[in-house]
Amino acid sequence: MSRKLTRNAHGSGTIRQRKDGTWEARYTVGRDPGTGKQVQRSLYGKTQKEVRQRLQQISVDLENGAYTEPSKMKLGAWLDIWLKDFTGNVAEHTHVTYETQVRVHIKPFLGAIKLSDLKPHQIQGMYNSLARDAEKPLSPKTIKNINGVLHRALDQAVSLGYIKANPCHGIILPRGESPEMHPLTESEIVSFLEAIKGSPYQMILTIDLFTGLRQSEIMGLTWDRIDFKAGTILIDRQLLHEKKKGGIYKFGPPKNRRSRTLTPAKKVMELLQAQKKQQAQDRLLVGSMWDDTFPGLVFTNQFGRNLSNTTLSHTVTRAGEKIGVPGLRFHDLRHTYAVAAIRAGDDIKSVQYNLGHATASFTLDKYAHYTSDMRRDSSARMDAFMASIGGL
């Protein structure tokens, strides 16, 4: 096959057809500071038109100073570097999650692709395959989390100049409905409290129902965070279950790394006083057998050990089945508190703070249905008021 050589219209490179029929464009990116010689690069394509268009874009980028040298590094190698050197500011359990997403999902699909060659359609194909896996399809939420990890890693690659743009942009993630909330009604709250009466977990579940704490927050609550004189509870850490490390528990910073000080109902503080007395009695009974792995925990078993998040969740679910609310989750106790607070007239900013949400808009979105109910109730109250004053 004859070889064809053409010069780019702007004189910024040459294009030729190779012996195998493909096309190559050569262009100059500058001069080697050591030797003074021109530094040339090549790009390849199946057609002359494809190569010409890519060369023209490179010429524009060189002219504007926006040119990025193609990286020879593979995505898998970059992800290893990113995990090691650029995720030091995240919590340890978050880092474990990142590492798992990379190792289990991203690398098997895309790890062998050059970082500079990674295209959006390849990422989209990975997510589509994960969602349609015949044996174990991943949920939309899990795929969203995987995308979050990959997106962060590629954003860092852009910042360092390894790639020009993040190929995660334009990806269409599978849609999924949020897990349905099951906030308990007033009558169900009464039934729930009756169902857990006498349970070793009665106190922690009751207090959580009226504070809205996350499960990890109330499990990690210690006595030095409770000020009985001021009537406050400081939430500045949580007890995390590290499943990837043999199922150990360890203290970690609060979600969003924001501490908050709650002023719960007086009845909650009275329940905490009762818990403190009961725990003191338990400690006297077992003496030296008391476990101080996590000193000062408010809620423990009779030997001072931390409670199991799985056991607490199962206890809530069983209580829910008993009162006719199947599928009740521990997190629904938190929703119950939030809805009760909104219906009681608490402003959204206060509800947001008490729950530890990052923004008030998130709280509004989460409980939009219940806030709209309140607006309708407010309208009805105003109608009744206007009717009562007459003359209108």
What average pLDDT does the segment 181-204 reach? 94
Same-domain check for residues 50 and 82: no
pLDDT one-digit tens code per residue, 53-102:
888 877 887 777 666 666 678 999 999 999 999 998 887 888 889 999 99
- Whole-model pTM: value is 0.65
Record the tokens describing residue 369, joined without a space: 């249905």
Is 291 within the bounds of a domain?
Answer: yes
Is 180 within the bounds of a domain?
Answer: no
CATH number, domain of 265, equals: 1.10.443.10
Is 360 within the bounds of a domain?
Answer: yes
pLDDT greater than 60 at residue 49: yes
Q: Hey, how many other C-beta atoms are within 10 angstroms of the C-beta on 153?
A: 23
Same-domain check for residues 38 and 58: yes
pLDDT greater than 50 at residue 184: yes
Same-domain check for residues 197 and 345: yes
Is 202 within the bounds of a domain?
Answer: yes
pLDDT of residue 265: 94
Same-domain check for residues 242 and 104: no
Q: Residue 139 and residue 127: Cα distance in Å, rounded?
A: 10
Is 33 within the bounds of a domain?
Answer: yes
Out of 140, 159, 178, a domain closes at 159
Nearest-5° angle of CA 54, CA 57, CA 63? 145
Rg (CA), the chain: 30
Q: Which band of pLDDT confidence, cut at 50, 70 and 90, is reported for residue 372?
A: low
Q: Residue 163 and residue 113: Cα distance in Å, rounded?
A: 13
Same-domain check for residues 231 and 337: yes
Is 177 within the bounds of a domain?
Answer: no
pLDDT of residue 313: 96
| Total count of domains within the chain | 3
Same-domain check for residues 57 and 142: no
pLDDT one-digit tens code per residue, 155-166:
999 888 788 889
CATH number, domain of 104, equals: 1.10.150
Range of the structural domain that residue 27 is part of:
5-64
pLDDT one-digit tens code per residue, 140-180:
989 999 999 999 999 999 888 788 889 999 899 988 666 66
Same-domain check for residues 95 and 150: yes
Same-domain check for residues 359 and 216: yes
Same-domain check for residues 206 and 355: yes
Contacts of residue 177, Cβ cutoff 8 Å, sequence gap at least 6 = none
Is 383 within the bounds of a domain?
Answer: no
Same-domain check for residues 190 and 304: yes
Is 176 within the bounds of a domain?
Answer: no
Out of 124, 144, 159, a domain closes at 159
pLDDT one-digit tens code per residue, 252-271:
888 878 899 999 999 999 99
Mean model confidence pLDDT for the chain:
87
Same-domain check for residues 219 and 153: no
pLDDT of residue 10: 43
Same-domain check for residues 214 and 345: yes
pLDDT of residue 2: 45
